[in-house]
C-alpha cells in the first residue's frame, strides 16, 4: 500500500478534485489509505481531518503520518456520532470513502446533512460507495445499486458533478472502483 499512499493514491485524489491548500474531512478514515495521499496532495498549507471511531486504526494512521513527516494530518477519535465539532462551511472536501454501507438510510441522511453543513458553499462531497448490489454487496448496501446511492445523495442537498473510475484502494488491497463527486445545491 506504500506505492498507493505515496504515488497512485495521490494521482487519483488529484484527478478526483483535491488541490494544494485545501481543508479535507476524511470521515471514516481507518488507517488512512486515503487520508495519507490526501495529505500529500493538500501539502503543508492544507489540512486533512481524519475522523474515525476505531482507536487502533487511528494509532496506525498516526504512525504513518509521523513516518512520512506529514504534520497536516489532524486525527479525531469519535464515539461514532455523525455531528462533528466543525464550524459551518469550514471544509473544502468531505470524503465518504467505503463508509456509507455501515449506515442505514436514516444514518446516511444524517451524514449527507452533516457534509452539507460543514462544506463551504463551493465545497465537494466525494463518495466511494463500495459494497453496493454488484460490488461485493454488504450490510446496509446489500440491495442498493450504485445508482440508488447516487440518487439518494441527489435527493439530499447535493447535485451530481462527475464520476472518476480507476484502480483504487480498498481495505489493504486495490480494486476497480468509482468515486462520485457532488456539489452543494
Ligand X SMILES: C[S@@+](CC[C@H](N)C(=O)[O-])C[C@H]1O[C@@H](n2cnc3c(N)ncnc32)[C@H](O)[C@@H]1O
Phi, psi dihedrals of residue 159, rounded to the nearest 5°: -120, 150
- Cβ atoms of residues 81 and 12 within 8 Å: no
- We find the least distance from the C-beta atom of residue 185 to ligand X, in angstroms, to be 24
**Grid cell digits, residue 42:** 493538500
Q: Residue 79 or residue 121: which is nearer to ligand X going by CB?
A: 79
Positions 135 through 174 that interact with ligand X (CB under 6 A)? 169
Residues within window 8-67 making contact with ligand X, judged by CB under 6 A: 28-30, 33-34, 51-54, 57
- Cα 72 to Cα 69: distance, rounded to the nearest angstrom: 9
If the CB atoms of residues 28 and 46 are measured against ligand X, the closer one turns out to be: 28
82 vs 76: CA distance, rounded Å: 13
Q: Three cell numbers at 46? A: 492544507
Helices (H) and strands (E) in the chain, counts: 6, 7
Q: Work out whether 78 is an interface residue with ligand X (CB under 6 A).
A: yes
Stretch that binds ligand X, among 13-21, 76-84, 152-160, 174-182 (CB under 6 A): 76-84
The candidate with the shortest Cα–Cα distance to 102, out of 139, 128, 133, 136, is: 139
Tell me the per-residue interface mask from 106 to 135 with ligand X, x by CB under 6 A, - otherwise: ------------------------------
Question: CB of 121: closest distance to ligand X in angstroms?
Answer: 25
The residues binding ligand X (CB under 6 A) are 28-30, 33-34, 51-54, 57, 78, 80, 82, 97-99, 102, 169
Amino acid at each position: 500500500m506504500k506505492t498507493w499512499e505515496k504515488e497512485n493514491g495521490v494521482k487519483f485524489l488529484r484527478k478526483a478534485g483535491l488541490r494544494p491548500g485545501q481543508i479535507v474531512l476524511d470521515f471514516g478514515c481507518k488507517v488512512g489509505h486515503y487520508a495519507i495521499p490526501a495529505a500529500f496532495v493538500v501539502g503543508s498549507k492544507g489540512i486533512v481531518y481524519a475522523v474515525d471511531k476505531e482507536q487502533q486504526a487511528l494509532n496506525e494512521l498516526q504512525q504513518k503520518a509521523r513516518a512520512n513527516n506529514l504534520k497536516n494530518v489532524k486525527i479525531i477519535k469519535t464515539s461514532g456520532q455523525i455531528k462533528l465539532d466543525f464550524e459551518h462551511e469550514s471544509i473544502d472536501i468531505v470524503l465518504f470513502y467505503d463508509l456509507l454501507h455501515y449506515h442505514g438510510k436514516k444514518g446516511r441522511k444524517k451524514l449527507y446533512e452533516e457534509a452539507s453543513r460543514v462544506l463551504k458553499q463551493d465545497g465537494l462531497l466525494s463518495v466511494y460507495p463500495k459494497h453496493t448490489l454488484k460490488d461485493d454487496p454488504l450490510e446496509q448496501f446489500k440491495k442498493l445499486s450504485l445508482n440508488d446511492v447516487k440518487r439518494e445523495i441527489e435527493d439530499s442537498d447535493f447535485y451530481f458533478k462527475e464520476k472518476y473510475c480507476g484502480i483504487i484502494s480498498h481495505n489493504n488491497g486495490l480494486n476497480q472502483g468509482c468515486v462520485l463527486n457532488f456539489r452543494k445545491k
